[in-house]
Amino acid sequence: MLWRKFNGDVIELPIIQAVENAIRRETEKGYRLKVCIGTDSQVKGLETEFATVIVFLREGHGGFMFIHNEKTRHQYTIKERMLVEVAKSIEIAYELCNLFNKYNVDMEVHADINTNPHFKSNDALKEAMGYILGMGFAFKAKPEAFASSSCANKVVN
């Protein structure tokens, strides 16, 4: 799985090692960190592109993110696509959660799903929320889910 920084630099290390290095570096500088993980997608013709982000927030001092993009030609319903986004976020959250526990870093999983029932993505809200909370992770949906609805949204080509 290829990850990169926002500036485009490829992360050569396995993601778990890159995240641990980032946590160590930032905590050594005295920053209190919070991590938000989210995925967004966009359909363009026959392709669906997903962007998953790991957003590191330095309390009161901005933040940075790691990004993974992938494309598929699989066709999804809107509900399926929302749940695939959530699954991608959970996959990386699960891979990294022991690290966050080890360094006492709060982590949230953000779902790009609208809490307003007038939006189609709302069809997936209950399942997504159950999935994320059932895994033991903190959950945010729109409008609070900035990792997926803003950060990942900016880097999905």
pLDDT tens-digit map of 92-104: 999 999 999 999 9
**Host domain of residue 27:** 3-155
DSSP-assigned letter for residue 61: S
- SS3 of 35, please? strand
- Report whether pLDDT(16) > 90: yes
* pTM of full prediction above 0.85: yes
Nearest 10 degrees: Cα torsion 146, 64, 23, 144: -10
Q: Which two tokens stand for residue 88?
A: 């991608």
Cβ count near 103 (within 10 Å): 15
Distance, in Å, from the CA atom of 23 to the CA atom of 35, rounded to the nearest integer, reads 10
Domain count across the chain: 1
Mean pLDDT, to the nearest integer, of 64-75?
97
Please state, for a pLDDT cut of 70, what percent of the chain lies above it: 100
What pLDDT was estimated at residue 120?
83
Mean pLDDT, to the nearest integer, of 26-42?
97
Distance, in Å, from the CA atom of 113 to the CA atom of 95, rounded to the nearest integer, reads 23
